[in-house]
DNA sequence: TTAATCATGTAACACGTTACATGATTGC
DNA sequence: GCAATCATGTAACGTGTTACATGATTAA
């Protein structure tokens, strides 16, 4: 249910249209949650059904009409209830799900050269990720000037640090893995 | 489609029943992919439809009847094709999806004490994970004596090292995060 | 005597992705 | 002139979870 709660969290900062929510989602939550616009619209519909938000149509002449979503008191309660019950998500946070590791597991069916290619490709992706992390810091700096709340932005930065820590861990792991393969007699 | 390919990979080691596949999955692939028995049976059905495997009913008197699945040549081809086309999964491997980080992001809506509780709970989970990693090494050691293929088991160990690397990275990150919160004026 | 193991599944639901549709305005 | 932005969605499909059903054997 975290997509719904992510949307609640954003709407708690202020009313937005689905389009704006989609952009805010990409700018701020993308490093740990991804969602397509079509899914966001569907979830907003469901959330309106729960009474978590209300929507108001805004007719525009120059641009397409839009729909402004506003969080209700019920929605704020739902957000706070969720924030107070983190148990399930912590177990979940420990769980890795990776098609890439599935490939590594079965890489013994292919050649060592092919396996090394796979690991080198991962290595490049880690490096690219480390570089791109800067964009996240910039996005937070932008939001910081809008929301002006040091308490909030401290947490935002902590989530970004996670991405950095894990890109670096990936790099160290893949170098270790490459070393193991190179030392392997074959 | 990785669940299907994981099952193909296991069946490539030898014919198994759905029940045995479910156990083999838990023992060997669990650290990076999880699946419920009900889903495994559904996927096996679909895979039989693709011609990737055949099944044979085995009638037992003392125990429930079972169904033995055997990989076909078409199935082996599908496995090899998948192993040769890793591009998509590497981008995917870089993506974090974490309800836990969503909570951290919005933790500014709660008290600092609540946020610290959340981070400490994560810390404990990381420590528990580090300890449990040993069980994975034991499982591989067992399979090693059965499959007797050093080339394969090298890759198995590499996937386990990933879990260790990421538990440790998680620990370092959370200690950094806790330090940031403690230094925060509030 | 209670739980675990063996062994299979179905049905409903929840969540996520892909492809498609519409059509005006603005910047390069 | 072409791509991007603005702004909304629907339909179909794919993947994953939960709850349920059956019923015998074996180990603590």
Tell me: the pLDDT tens digits for A51-103? Answer: 999 999 988 777 778 899 999 999 999 999 999 987 878 999 999 999 999 99
pLDDT at residue B163 is higher than 80: yes
How far CA B54 is from CA of A109, B51, B69, in Å, comes to 21, 7, 6
Three-class SS state of A35:
coil
CB atoms inside a 10 Å sphere around CB A101: 24
The two three-digit tokens of residue B39, written as one number: 């889903």
Binary contact (A103, B121; C-beta < 8 A): no
Average pLDDT over residues B46-74: 91
pLDDT band, very low/low/confident/very high, at B75 (cuts 50, 70, 90): very high
Task: Choose the closest CB to A33 out of B97, B129, B167.
Answer: B97
Q: In this predicted model, which residue has the larger pLDDT, B133 or B96?
A: B96
pLDDT at residue B142 is higher than 80: no
pLDDT at residue B185 is higher than 80: no
pLDDT at residue A186 is higher than 70: no
In angstroms, what separates the C-alpha of A101 from chain B's closest C-alpha? 6
Torsion angles phi and psi, residue A54, rounded to 5: -120, 155
DSSP string computed for B42-90: HHHHHHHHHTSEEEEEE--SSS--EEEEEE-HHHHHHHHHHHT--HHHH
Distance A88 CA to D16 C1' (A): 17
Nearest 5 degrees, angle CA B79-CA B83-CA B89?
120
Chain B contact set for A152 (CB, 8 A): 108
Q: Which residue is nearest to nucleotide C15 (CA to C1')?
A: A1
CB atoms inside a 10 Å sphere around CB A83: 21
Instruction: Please check whether residue A2 is in contact with residue B99, taking contact to mean a CB–CB distance below 8 angstroms.
Output: yes
The percent of residues above 70 in pLDDT, for chain B, comes to: 98
Average pLDDT over residues B93-103: 96
Find, among B27, B182, B47, the residue nearest to B116 by Cα: B182
pLDDT at A59: 83
In angstroms, what separates the C-alpha of A87 from chain B's closest C-alpha? 8
Average pLDDT over residues B74-95: 91
* Average pLDDT of every residue of chain B: 92
Chain B contact set for A120 (CB, 8 A): none
Q: In this predicted model, which residue has the larger pLDDT, A34 or B88?
A: A34
Residues A50, B121: Cα–Cα separation, whole Å: 30
pLDDT band, very low/low/confident/very high, at B135 (cuts 50, 70, 90): confident
pLDDT at B151: 83
pLDDT at B13: 94
Chain B contact set for A121 (CB, 8 A): 86-87, 90
Task: Choose the closest CB to A103 out of B83, B154, B161.
Answer: B83
User: The dihedral of CA A8, A12, A16, A20: what is its sign?
Assistant: negative
Q: What is the pTM of this model?
A: 0.94
Distance A50 CA to D7 C1' (A): 24
Distance B42 CA to C10 C1' (A): 10
Number of CB pairs < 8 Å for A and B? 230
Q: Spell out the residues 6+ positions from residue B54 whose beta carbon is closer than 8 angstroms to its own.
A: B48, B69, B70, B72
Q: Which helix (H) or strand (E) holds B166?
A: helix B150-183
Residues A24, A6: Cα–Cα separation, whole Å: 10
In angstroms, what separates the C-alpha of B67 from chain A's closest C-alpha? 25
Binary contact (A96, B5; C-beta < 8 A): no
Residue whose tokens read 């910081």? A144
Binary contact (B173, A161; C-beta < 8 A): yes
Q: Which helix (H) or strand (E) holds A66?
A: strand A66-71
Q: In this predicted model, which residue has the larger pLDDT, B183 or A136?
A: B183
pLDDT at B88: 75
pLDDT band, very low/low/confident/very high, at B186 (cuts 50, 70, 90): low
Question: Which nucleotide C1' is nearest A34 CA?
Answer: C16
Find, among B32, B132, B154, the residue nearest to A177 by Cα: B154
The percent of residues above 70 in pLDDT, for chain A, comes to: 98
Instruction: Please check whether residue B53 is in contact with residue B14, taking contact to mean a CB–CB distance below 8 angstroms.
Output: no
Distance spanning both ends of chain A, measured CA to CA:
48
pLDDT at A145: 74
Residues B83, A78: Cα–Cα separation, whole Å: 44
pLDDT at B109: 96
pLDDT, one tens digit per residue, over A162-184 is 999 999 999 999 999 999 999 98
Residue whose tokens read 């033995």? B68
3-state DSSP helix/strand/coil percent for chain B, to nearest 5? Answer: 75, 10, 20
Q: Spell out the residues 6+ positions from residue A53 whose beta carbon is closer than 8 angstroms to its own.
A: A8, A11, A44, A47, A69, A70, A71, A72, A75
Binary contact (B184, A109; C-beta < 8 A): no
Question: Which nucleotide C1' is nearest B17 CA?
Answer: C7
CB atoms inside a 10 Å sphere around CB A163: 20
Q: Which residue is nearest to nucleotide C5 (CA to C1')?
A: B63
């Amino acid at each position: 249910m975290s997509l719904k709660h992510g949307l609640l969290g954003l709407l708690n900062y202020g009313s937005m249209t689905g389009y704006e929510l989609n952009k805010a989602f990409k700018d701020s939550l993308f490093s740990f949650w991804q969602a397509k616009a079509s899914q966001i619209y569907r979830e907003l519909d469901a959330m309106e059904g729960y009474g978590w938000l209300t929507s108001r149509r805004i007719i525009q002449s120059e641009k397409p009409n839009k729909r402004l979503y506003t969080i209700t008191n019920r929605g704020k309660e739902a957000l706070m209830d969720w924030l107070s019950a983190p148990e399930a998500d912590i177990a979940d946070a420990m769980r890795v799900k990776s098609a890439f590791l599935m490939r590594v597991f079965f890489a013994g069916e292919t050649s060592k050269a092919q396996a090394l290619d796979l690991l080198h490709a991962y290595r490049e992706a880690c490096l690219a990720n480390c570089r791109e992390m800067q964009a996240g810091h910039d996005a937070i700096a932008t939001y910081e000037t809008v929301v002006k709340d040091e308490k909030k932005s401290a947490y935002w930065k902590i989530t970004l640090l996670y991405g950095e820590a894990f890109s670096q861990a990936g790099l160290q792991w893949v170098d270790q893995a490459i070393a193991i393969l190179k030392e392997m007699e074959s």
